Amino acid sequence: MAGYSSTTVGRLAVLVAVILMAGGKVAYGTWLGAVPSPIYVLMCFSLITAIFLPIYGRRTGEFALKPLLLLNVSTALCFLFFFYALKLIEPAVAGAVQFGSGPILSVLITLVATRARPDPIKALVCGGLVAGCVVLAVSAVTGAGFATDGARGWLGLGAILLSAIGSVLITIASKNLSLRGWSSGAILAHRCYLIVPLALALVLAEGAADVPWTPPLALTLLGIGLVGTIIPIVFLQIGIEKSDPHTVLVMLAAMPIFTFLIEGLSPLYVWSQLTAAGLAIIAVFIAIDIAFTRQKTIVSARTTSHGSGAEDTDARVAKGGGVSMSD
């Protein structure tokens, strides 16, 4: 995209991914209720492997076993638990808890791995996003979400927290591979080695014979999988390559806001005041982060115009999210 900086392209890619994934989650909960989540996951990630492995399988950068293993484990953790949780709680609540807790989990992981303390404003934003998640968690377990009872709500929230950890680790592992010369296509080609066999095992264990398969249902499954999961994952991978992990995770936190708006188009979901309050809190702190990042970028640009070559090293460390993985 000529005329746009790499960071701008990355943010636009994440934004497209967020909007498409938000719509996909509502569509999944609305029209694919009869399809077990492992079947959906198996179809999506089998297609990703079939598309990218033949083209990018040999076009990898520097081999790095630890981030590659982490990428595969975290992909399975993130998506298997997320689509399971969508059967139990409202998509906006599920997305908010998953992506709203992402930035604070990233800060904690970075703190443990590198002892690097976060910027105070980033810490404030992370705390605000967590506060919004708490409100949405209350919404889920009190029946304001999609849970039929409190027990199912707690089970859904547990699955979402595991999925949230997976999403943060995906971002960290992908960024590490990107800094080692891996393209987005190469990362997509090699991230499904665990999730595909696990999803297949779950499909065989649960059985697919009870699904009322019809041509319209099969086409709906394929369409929602392409538009709501496969294409967004490609855009998200591009965004991770071209942006820093904090920016990606904060932008992902906006997904439940879009999901909440799109839910109004589905007859299965009813907007609740508690859910709206939690999403409003998340929106406020995302706005704070955007304003802070913009101000920091302006200051950094002025400093760079008078600075030395040290900025290149600092930018590389910042872009990697402060977490490194050696073989």
Alpha-carbon torsion angle 245, 250, 251, 256, nearest 10: 130
Share of the chain above pLDDT 90, in %: 37
What is the model's pLDDT at position 15? 92
Q: What is the predicted pLDDT for the residue at 316?
A: 45
60, two tokens: 């990898």
- The answer, yes or no, to whether residue 41 has pLDDT greater than 90, is yes
Q: H/E element holding 263?
A: helix 255-263
Greatest alpha-carbon span in the chain:
67
* Residue that has been written with the tokens 């071209």 in this structure: 242
Start-to-end CA span in the chain (Å): 34
pTM, 2 dp: 0.79
State the average pLDDT over residues 189-208.
91
Does 29 or 322 have the greater pLDDT score?
29
Contact 112, 190 (CB under 8 A): no
Distances, alpha carbon 235 to alpha carbons 96, 109, 185, in Å: 20, 25, 11
Coil, strand, or helix at residue 143? coil
The CA distance from 42 to 230, in Å, is 12
Dihedral sign for Cα atoms in the order 44, 33, 77, 242: positive
Q: How far apart are CA 183 and CA 168, in angstroms?
A: 19
Name the strand (E) or helix (H) holding 21.
helix 6-31
pLDDT value for 100:
75
